[in-house]
Amino acid sequence: MLEDMINFDLPQEKSSIIKVIGIGGGGSNAINYMYGKGITDVNFVVCNTDAQDLARSPIPIKIQLGETLTQGRGAGNNPEMGRQAAIESLDSIAELLSHNTKMVFITAGMGGGTGTGAAPIIAKEAKEKNILTVAIVTIPFQFEGRRRINQAIEGIAELKEYVDSLLIINNEKLRQIYGNLPFSEAFSNADNVLTIAAKGIAEIITVSGNINVDFADVQTVMSNSGVALMGSAVAEGDDRALSVIQEALNSPLLNDNDIRGAKNILLNIRSGKDDEIRVDEIGQITDYLQDASGLDADIIWGNTIDDTLGRNISVTIIATGFNTETIPEFALNKVEKKEKISLEEDLSSNVTFEVENKVLKNKKHFASSQKKIDFNRNSEVEKFELEDKYIGQEPSNNDRAKETTINVNRAKIQQEKINNLNRNQSRYSNFRNSNIDEFEEVPAYKRKEIDLENFSLSSEDSTEVSKFTLSDDESGENVNINHNNSYLFDNVD
């Protein structure tokens, strides 16, 4: 049976440098879909622990993983079982990869047993043979359960260590694109996206066009490039070039990420014979992409003809150089390794400890000055009452007298303030009610009946004010300032 399952002894002229390997149930379904759609000049391979699933596949090259371990019954959704199955069949995988292989695509639906466990083992084998290894994997739908999603994330984290480039397709994003589809169609759309990615990368090498890109160019973009982001779109009409690049960069497959900061970008432009893409349209696409990604991004692009497109143009973008933080599932579902600590002490184990007692010998004796306390002496016991005697106690006569005096003083101060206020109001009222002309025409000293007729000036000596004097002249008509003021000088400083 194994001879029927393993058939990779192809003629040399038909062996491609690019091999697309589907691992597990999800990966095999994706490869079957790609095989039906066709990707030019690649070899398809399926690897699975499920013998029945392998038998149904139309792919000519098949490898049954862990035939002895699983006996063809699958991995039972156990990644460790898938891992051990791949290790058991590692010789067959190594022989397959030794046939003129320069580039390997690994496709798998992560979260199950075979794909999650076996994909890192196969990727590691390819990487150790210096083969450009690109993984295109899917994260399960939400309805498939939290356990399956967590297993997928664990598997992807391990897979990332053994691939040059990792392209992750979130099935839940496909629900946003295509809506609530029948169950089988939902998974078919996932297979279609994997096909677009693999076809977009592979055919930029294998299909001849006006602008050819060779394997060395693709190797430059994808070698040790980390996480890759993918966008794809198809458009037609007068503004098809601008529309197609905008739609590709806004594709939900990019996981709402901006491609700015990408190190390298692989751009595959396809158009039909009926309306081949124009030079200006190519310029629009590349200029827009360069602006969106930044001037530091290196864009390698190719242009091919696809008869099935008619008047449409198709663009596939693979941007590399990112890390797993760009994938929301890794940020939201980081699997933390928890160390279990037993709270119960294991008393069954016999543990002996050696205790070294150091005895200090005191050669000199000192008289102790510490007083001896007689603990047997009966001391007087002081009793305390729990009830507060002062609560509710009436104040004494002295306290009442003090309080009365304080209240009387406060009343006097308050009454004085009221009297002052009344006097001010009375003055204001008199001023307001009197004749204003009287205040303007009658001097204040007359209104207050002050006699100024008998008022006489003091002598000249007695009228000294501030070291200068005022006096009348001989005629009595003018007032003179006597120049005996020490602060007045003829010469100014």
Whole-number Å distance between alpha carbons of 191 and 20: 13
In eight-state DSSP terms, residue 354 is: -
State residue 465's pLDDT score.
Answer: 45
State residue 479's pLDDT score.
Answer: 67
Q: Is residue 463's pLDDT more than 50?
A: no
Decide which of 333 and 27 is more confident. 27
Q: Is residue 464's pLDDT more than 50?
A: no
pLDDT in tens, 364-396: 554 555 555 555 555 555 665 655 555 555 555
Whole-number Å distance between alpha carbons of 35 and 43: 9
Q: How confident is the model at residue 160 (pLDDT cuts 50, 70, 90)?
A: very high
> How far is residue 51 from each of residues 2, 85, 108, 303, measured CA to CA in Å?
10, 13, 17, 41
Q: Provide the token pair at 219.
A: 């190797």
Contact criterion met (CB below 8 Å) for 84 and 61: no
- 114-128 and 24-37 are packed helices; what angle lies between their axes, rounded to 10 degrees? 70
Q: Is residue 15's pLDDT more than 80?
A: no
Q: Is residue 86's pLDDT more than 70?
A: yes
State residue 206's pLDDT score.
Answer: 82
Domains of the chain: 12-206 (3.40.50.1440), 226-329 (3.40.50.1440)
pLDDT in tens, 316-367: 898 988 877 666 666 555 544 444 555 555 545 555 555 555 544 555 554 5
State residue 335's pLDDT score.
Answer: 45
Q: Is residue 227's pLDDT more than 50?
A: yes
Task: Express as a percent the part of the chain with pLDDT over 90.
Answer: 32
pLDDT in tens, 168-226: 888 888 787 777 878 788 888 888 888 888 888 888 888 776 776 778 888 888 899 88
Nearest partner of 313 among 361, 272, 356, judged by Cα: 272
State residue 305's pLDDT score.
Answer: 87
pLDDT in tens, 422-451: 776 666 555 555 566 666 777 777 777 777
Whole-number Å distance between alpha carbons of 59 and 162: 25
State residue 192's pLDDT score.
Answer: 85
State residue 214's pLDDT score.
Answer: 78
Residues 6 or more apart whose CB falls under 8 angstroms from that of 441 comprise none
Q: Provide the token pair at 55.
A: 């038998």
> How far is residue 239 from each of residues 268, 281, 284, 305, measured CA to CA in Å?
19, 9, 10, 19
